[in-house]
A and B are shown apart, each in its own frame.
Chain A
């Protein structure tokens, strides 16, 4: 019983991490139609900023709070300078963002060297429920993921900013004709997606430690999750991330990890092939 509970918690917490990472990716993919290969590097940057704060002797949570803002600002600048030119051609956008990601990743690699740097958990220790111990920080990640998810949903579905974003997604020319500055909306959306990635990176760095390929590890999983969930809505990629995260954490408990690892991808690709619109079809929130 206790073991099953711990297993369930592990699966849940990994699912939450994937959801957190995919949130930004999904928003950029759905609202802008761009598969951002640099997203993994935004995660990496968020992690790096947190590490930097820790190394400079600042409290870790300060780094975690700063990370989304810094990465978001960088995202805004990059969008205005570079990403903006790619909207017409999704494949070129992939290549361009890949090049951007390469630059960021290798710069960070140059800064930290080939090391695995650890950052302690700001909330250490474990929560004890009877005889069971679960990591307090992982539990915090789950809670924050839920909060962020809820906030994003409300932002997109209930605020006038969300309305503008959705209008721009559905019909850019009509949105422009209605007086919405679509370039600004695109910029803000991209920055928002980047900020979410920065937050994800900041939160997961105590769990995975900091290394240059941290973001790359999650990128492909993230893409697959977005496709499985369905591009075009907010809730689709989140659902996809939940499924992919849960599967990749749960399958190794019942079969050889190698097989499980590959099986998740194979299943996902087969699923997308036969249901291209994803789990949740349609545009909007």
Chain B
């Protein structure tokens, strides 16, 4: 697969820089890398936030971190594999409902049980829906997949609204807090750091994933699916795998969200939240993990800030901004600081240095 790998490298690098494509061990640009700096700044800011924020703002920040985790799941699917999932909330919300039912009917709130359970629910639903939509004898069209996920999310919303067991319109209120031993995680700094820790771990895992050989194949898939298929990769399987991983991450985020808010309601599986996450990622910059996180923080932060005075017109502003981003900054806000070469990045193990030193 070595030649294939190189060829995909070329295919991916096409977009970024031709000199890489020609395999010239060119002079590496000496400019400093921006991405680690951005990531570091965000991390430090997130670590310090509870120390400077008032209590109610820490609660809000926790919610934003959870939504950032959710945004990450969508970014994996759209930004890295080019699958437009308009129904990401389906996995987010169904995991939320799942853990809410666990807590309500079985009194299970142990963090070591509910979070894996939520992740598993998201993963299962994504595997089923993704398997159905993406796999098959004929590759599905992008339109079909995006409308299929959208419809799935909408149908789940209708089901949750009408199903008495799930609480109907009102959802499931007053979920018991998550617990570890005798300690209850209620809103506050402890919950915040727990969520932040989970976000960092998931972020690092995703970072490893998208920079691996698998990530390289995904990037090729996003740029030119047919070419990847000709190289012998099973494009549909790759898509189904990343879709499932995305679903698992969304499920994790959904279960955290359910316990943090203390209730779940039908919107959580529906189209509203599904499109919300699309907004975050497009805004921040799809195809970079940090872009998704930043997008969630900015959109939620500005909306929180504006909602006191301009609650009514904020959605209109949001729509306008989104339109401007799509028209003029398709790579999102992150592209103001991040160069194209760095966005595409490098894949797999680091190439052996000092190639020139060898005779």
Residues of A within 8 A of B146 (CB): 91, 94
Residues of A within 8 A of B141 (CB): 276
- The smallest beta-carbon distance between B75 and chain A, in angstroms, is 14
Residues of B within 8 A of A227 (CB): 143-144, 147
B278 in contact with A224 (CB, 8 Å): no
A261 in contact with B158 (CB, 8 Å): yes
What's the Cα separation between A220 and B152 when bound, in Å?
Answer: 10
Quick one: which of A203-258 are within 8 Å of B by CB?
216, 220, 223-224, 227, 231, 257-258
Q: Give the interface size class of chain B.
A: 35 or more
What's the Cα separation between A216 and B158 when bound, in Å?
Answer: 13
Name A's interface SS. helix
B271 in contact with A220 (CB, 8 Å): yes
The answer to whether B275 has its CB under 8 Å from any CB of chain A is yes
B327 in contact with A96 (CB, 8 Å): yes
The answer to whether A174 has its CB under 8 Å from any CB of chain B is no
A262 in contact with B158 (CB, 8 Å): yes
Closest 4 interchain pairs by CB? A258-B162, A102-B319, A103-B319, A106-B315
- Contacts beyond the supplied A98-B278, A257-B162: 18 A-B pairs with Cβ under 8 Å: A35-B147, A91-B143, A92-B326, A94-B146, A96-B327, A98-B275, A99-B320, A99-B322, A106-B316, A109-B312, A110-B312, A220-B150, A223-B150, A258-B158, A261-B155, A262-B155, A266-B155, A273-B133
Residues of A within 8 A of B201 (CB): none
The answer to whether A141 has its CB under 8 Å from any CB of chain B is no
What's the Cα separation between A95 and B325 when bound, in Å?
Answer: 11
Residue of A nearest to B313 (CB): A110
Quick one: which of B30-49 are within 8 Å of A by CB?
none
The answer to whether A90 has its CB under 8 Å from any CB of chain B is yes
The answer to whether B238 has its CB under 8 Å from any CB of chain A is no
Residues of A within 8 A of B330 (CB): 92
Name B's interface SS. helix
What's the Cα separation between A220 and B142 when bound, in Å?
Answer: 16
Residue contacts A-B, CB under 8 angstroms, 12 given = A35-B143, A82-B327, A85-B327, A95-B322, A100-B323, A102-B316, A103-B319, A220-B154, A258-B158, A258-B159, A258-B161, A276-B141
Which of B86, B133, B271, B326 has the largest number of chain A CB atoms within 10 A?
Answer: B326
- Chain B interface (Cβ < 8 Å from any Cβ of A): 84, 86, 132-133, 136, 138, 140-144, 146-148, 150-152, 154-155, 158-159, 161-163, 271, 275, 278, 282, 312-313, 315-316, 318-320, 322-323, 326-327, 330
B140 in contact with A273 (CB, 8 Å): yes
What's the Cα separation between A102 and B278 when bound, in Å?
Answer: 13
Q: Which of B151, B159, B326 contacts A220 (CB 8 A)?
A: B151
- The smallest beta-carbon distance between A159 and chain B, in angstroms, is 29
B323 in contact with A276 (CB, 8 Å): no
What's the Cα separation between A208 and B114 when bound, in Å?
Answer: 42
B140 in contact with A95 (CB, 8 Å): no
What's the Cα separation between A258 and B161 when bound, in Å?
Answer: 8
Residues of A within 8 A of B161 (CB): 258
Given contacts A94-B84, A110-B312, contact A276 B319 (CB under 8 A): no
B140 in contact with A276 (CB, 8 Å): yes
Given contacts A94-B146, A224-B147, A258-B163, contact A273 B136 (CB under 8 A): yes
Given contacts A258-B163, A273-B140, contact A223 B327 (CB under 8 A): no
- Chain A interface (Cβ < 8 Å from any Cβ of B): 35, 82, 85, 90-92, 94-96, 98-103, 106-107, 109-110, 216, 220, 223-224, 227, 231, 257-258, 261-262, 265-266, 268-269, 272-273, 276
Residues of A within 8 A of B327 (CB): 82, 85, 96
What's the Cα separation between A96 and B146 when bound, in Å?
Answer: 14
Residue of B nearest to A261 (CB): B158
- The smallest beta-carbon distance between A279 and chain B, in angstroms, is 15
Residues of A within 8 A of B144 (CB): 227, 272-273, 276
Which of A85, A91, A257 has the largest number of chain B CB atoms within 10 A?
Answer: A91
Residues of A within 8 A of B140 (CB): 273, 276
What's the Cα separation between A216 and B154 when bound, in Å?
Answer: 11
- The smallest beta-carbon distance between A29 and chain B, in angstroms, is 9
Which of A101, A109, A216, A272 has the largest number of chain B CB atoms within 10 A?
Answer: A272
Residue of A nearest to B153 (CB): A220
A91 in contact with B142 (CB, 8 Å): yes
Residues of A within 8 A of B313 (CB): 106, 110
Residues of A within 8 A of B143 (CB): 35, 90-91, 227, 231
What's the Cα separation between A127 and B268 when bound, in Å?
Answer: 44
- The smallest beta-carbon distance between A146 and chain B, in angstroms, is 28
A103 in contact with B323 (CB, 8 Å): yes
A276 in contact with B150 (CB, 8 Å): no
B323 in contact with A82 (CB, 8 Å): yes
A95 in contact with B326 (CB, 8 Å): yes
- The smallest beta-carbon distance between B11 and chain A, in angstroms, is 19
Residues of A within 8 A of B319 (CB): 99-103, 106
B151 in contact with A224 (CB, 8 Å): yes
A95 in contact with B282 (CB, 8 Å): yes
B316 in contact with A107 (CB, 8 Å): yes
What's the Cα separation between A99 and B318 when bound, in Å?
Answer: 8
Residues of B within 8 A of A216 (CB): 271
What's the Cα separation between A109 and B155 when bound, in Å?
Answer: 24
A269 in contact with B315 (CB, 8 Å): no
What's the Cα separation between A90 and B155 when bound, in Å?
Answer: 23
B133 in contact with A268 (CB, 8 Å): no
- The smallest beta-carbon distance between B304 and chain A, in angstroms, is 17
A273 in contact with B132 (CB, 8 Å): yes
